[in-house]
Amino acid sequence: MDALQPQAVMCSYCKARPAAGAVRTLEAWEGRLTVTWHDKRCPHHLADRVLAGKEP
């Protein structure tokens, strides 16, 4: 079985890249692992935090 290699996906909204101040979300999707980088204030990232129950 192949090891899961995270596939980097660029967020279509904030287009953040791996850098200081960026945050990432990991997602398993159809047997693949993807990592998406976001700006800290990207609404996509904020939505992920709400879904994860880390924000009220």
Residues that bind Zn ion (CB under 5 A): 11, 13-14, 38, 42, 44
Which tokens go with 42?
Answer: 């990207």
Q: How far is the CB of 2 from Zn ion (least distance, A)?
A: 28
Q: In what order do the strands lie in the sheet with 22-29?
A: 7-10, 32-39, 22-29
How far apart CA 22 and CA 18 sit, in angstroms, is 6
Which tokens go with 43?
Answer: 């609404």
Q: How far is the CB of 54 from Zn ion (least distance, A)?
A: 16
Q: How far is the CB of 10 from Zn ion (least distance, A)?
A: 9
Residue number with CB closer to Zn ion (31 or 54): 54
